[in-house]
Amino acid sequence: MPSQAKLTQGSTFKHVVYMSATGALGLMCMFLVDLVDMLFLSMLDEKEAVAAVGFASTIMFFTISLSIAVSITATALVSRAIGEGQIELAKRRAVNVLAFGTLFSLVVVWLLWPNIAFILSYIGATGRTLELSTEYLQILIIGMPAIMIGMIGSGIMRALGDARRAMYATLIGGLINAVLDPIFIFALDMGVQGAAIASLIARFSMVAVSYYGVVHVHKMLGRFDLMDFIKDIKPMCVIAVPAMLTNMSSPLANAIVMEHASSFGDDAVAAVAIIGRIIPVIFGGVFALSGAVGPMLGQNYGAGRFDRMHSTISSAVIYAFGYCLLLCIILFQLQDWLVATFNATEASADIIRFFATFVSFSFFFQSLLFIAIAVFNNLGKPLNSTLLNFGRATLGTWPLITFFALFMGAQGILFGQAIGSVIFGCLGFYMAKNYIKGLEQKAYREKASKAITSPQHLGYDEVY
């Protein structure tokens, strides 16, 4: 059980680096599940199998995004309670978010499973690709409750500042998947279905690891009480619903990209699918920024430390720039290796090389958007995150990729998406900085008002 809000002390840059690095390893391993699936399936020399995982992963990204949204709720509520020193409230919120997430994920599975083939065909899967992607997704979607529980557990531990144990759940899941994939795909000759079963087992392993950290190490799950759960539904939904809408915008953008890519054939779809699996692994440190910055802001806001909130934002930008610069250089150097590793066709290889050479640095601007999303989700304005991310997914995606694809072909899809990231990243960061300044000014006015109306100020010291 935490005795103090550890993120309100020490170097903010050190916290950002540590929280982002451990979060990145966790996220990278979670998305590595899909990348490993695609890598082994590419060895079957059946491009429909790779395209099938690409289509199915578009839907799985949607379910993972919902899980991340609920984990954001856990992080925001628990970290703020910890910053205020209300440990029992933090424990109550932790168990109630876990119950909420489990019920919600079961409902999503119930709604999605019968409609999988229709959804996949709607975003462009046809023929053999549709058949394989349906088989893959029908198995994998069953694991959504496990992902939800694992992500919420990680979110609770991040809220406490224990980023290392938060990483373990997804790290172990990725390792288990890497071991089981060749067994099910090749040794048991199960192909796409084998990849799905291996990934499903890996996802359920996340539950055991996160349960151990939250319950046995930190003792952070309070006793479930139905009336407390009902009371907490409103504060949970205030964060969870906008956060879900915010995170749904990314799979929406991916679906738009995949639908446009399908008009250029399976080679373009396979290239976009490969890039889509590379991105979270290479740029995991960027994707982890929201999860790193969020609990730092939550604890320091609860403690009234606005100086550390400003410092956290500055540290996050410095970290993001250095990380993106380094990883973009590495990606540029590895582009030929990636083409060879995934047995990409000539058409697919051109798109992959274009991404590695010209598009990759746009993720720095996307990191600015992630920082802004963390600010709004954890400081009481989650609807702003929704508007920003949906703006990027719609206005920042569809018109731009449609326009640039007219002149640049399939490469224009990636270029248009990158331009959208630049625009909305800068806009979101500007809004977030101003919002924190507004909160600080409001807190200063309230403090000044209390000082003016205090008995001491009015000359009543002798009464006390």
Please spell the DSSP secondary structure of 413-452, one letter per residue.
Answer: HHHHHHHHHHHHHHHHHHHHHHHHHHHHHHHHHHHHHHHH
pLDDT for 452: 65
* CA–CA dist 306, 216 (Å, integer): 33
pLDDT for 343: 79
User: Residue 96 in contact with residue 81, Cβ under 8 Å?
Assistant: no
| Single-letter amino acid, residue 136 | Y
Provide the phi-psi class of 219: left if phi over 0, else alpha when psi is between -120 and 50, else beta.
left
What parts of the chain have a pLDDT lower than 70? 1-8, 26-38, 42, 44-47, 247, 251, 450-464
- Judged by DSSP in three states, 125 sits in coil
| Single-letter amino acid, residue 175 | L
pLDDT for 458: 47
pLDDT for 430: 94
pLDDT for 464: 30
**169: closest CA among 160, 179, 158?**
158
Domain borders along the chain are 12-445
pLDDT for 368: 93
